Amino acid sequence: MTNNQLNEYDIDAIQDDGIRAQYQTIQKRFGSLALQIQSIYGLDNKSIDVVFVADGAFNASVEMNEDRYLIQLSNAVPVLLMVFFDKLLSDPGNLPWLSSEGTGDVSYDIPFAVKAKDLSDTRNWLIKTNKIRAFASYTLADIATSFMFLHELGHILGGHLKDLEKRGQRAAHAEFRMLKDAETGDTDLQQLQEYQADSVGAYLTTHIIEELIEDAKVNERTRAVFGPEDIVAENTISLAVTALYGLFAYVRGQEVRLRLHASHPDPLVRALYTRDFIYQIMQQNRSFDVELSQDMLQARFDEMNAVLLSLDLISSSSITDEGIEMANDHSRTLKSYQYERGKEASKYAFIEWG
């Protein structure tokens, strides 16, 4: 099967030196990770290609062809996430240990798509931040962009594309489909596959967390954001989960109603169980003060929600205690599905579920 509509985005033609370098770095890193995954898991001798596509949406997709897997990320994803986190972190109340001295040293004006679902709906944002905050937002945006990619790897490793093919369907999966499509079929099974892709994504995200913890030991700028040795693990874990929360909050937008029965779990539900996966995996990797890290995370959530509310990007009714309790319940339901139906959702998996 070939994709004739593939509209590859030419990142070498990006005019802005900084942005072009950022895209080139991301593509190189994703490409080398894809190679490693292929060499570890075999993947029936199929390679994994990663491309950016110019499709004007906020999307990621994966398909399986005769000789390769193809992961496509919309070219809008990295830049929108960079602007989004720049805006959030330019507020001095967010990550309050970061200095706001020199605010305006990094400054730009941009039409920002406030709704991930409709990139044509833009608002003019003036971003005024400083170098250390810009570095922090760049790093959080990078974690969020990486997660979009790692989630697609999760679909490959979970055998979900092979599963579609065996059922006589097109072996392709896109994250954001029209509502009409999304509410058909066995949504429990679809949600379980999303849960599995997220769990692989979370597992692979812990490698990024470990790299940041190591880098903070030797790199002063990284240390200024992620913390000195005595709290670096706790703080880095909480910041990585915050980055994912930011991604899910952006995707969720102002939607008030929890959508528990769509093809994808509600973004709030995803934020909650992804947080749990990351804590669980990091606890296997190293000893750290879980309670301190969770306190830090709660503080980051509160800071971020305050800015999101002030920017009108979430509605106060979407983060009520009741809504969070429902999301927690649903997250637990998915966890029990994984025990009961996990193998059925990934008959052709390349990995074992722990």
> How deeply is 318 buried, as exposed, middle or buried, from its count of CB atoms within 10 A (0-12, 13-18, 19+)?
buried
Q: How many CA atoms lie within 13 A of 3 on its CB side?
A: 19
Closest distance to Zn ion from the beta carbon of 11 (Å): 24
Instruction: State the minimum distance, in angstroms, from the CB of residue 153 to Zn ion.
Output: 11
Dihedral, CA of residue 140, residue 243, residue 81 and residue 10, to nearest 10:
70
Q: Taking CB under 5 A as the criterion, which residues in 110-129 touch Zn ion? A: none
241 Cβ neighbours under 8 A, 6+ residues apart: 271, 274, 275, 278, 297, 300
Is residue 71 involved in binding Zn ion (CB under 5 A)?
no
**C-beta of 154 vs 253, nearer to Zn ion:** 154
| Residue with smaller CB distance to Zn ion, 193 or 236 | 193
Does the footprint of Zn ion cover residue 164 (CB under 5 A)? no
Which window, 77-85, 124-132, 156-164, 189-197, contacts Zn ion (CB under 5 A)?
Answer: 189-197
Q: Near Zn ion by CB under 5 A, which window of 116-124, 191-199, 268-276, 280-288?
A: 191-199
Name the residue nearer to Zn ion (CB basis): 249 or 304. Answer: 249
User: How many residues touch Zn ion (CB under 5 A)?
Assistant: 2
Candidate ranges 187-195, 268-276, 302-310, 319-327; the one touching Zn ion (CB under 5 A): 187-195
CB 75 within 8 A of CB 54: yes
Closer to Zn ion at the Cβ: 194 or 234? 194
End-to-end CA gap in the chain: 33
**Per-residue DSSP letters for 7-45?**
-B--GGG-SSHHHHHHHHHHHHHHHHHHHHHHHHH-GGG
SS3 54: coil
Contacts of 96 (CB under 8 A, 6+ apart): 303
Among 148, 197, 209, 251, binds Zn ion (CB under 5 A): 197
Least distance in Å: CB of 151 to Zn ion?
Answer: 6
Q: Which stretch binds Zn ion (CB under 5 A): 125-133, 197-205, 230-238, 331-339?
A: 197-205
Instruction: By CB under 5 A, name the binding residues for Zn ion.
Output: 194, 197
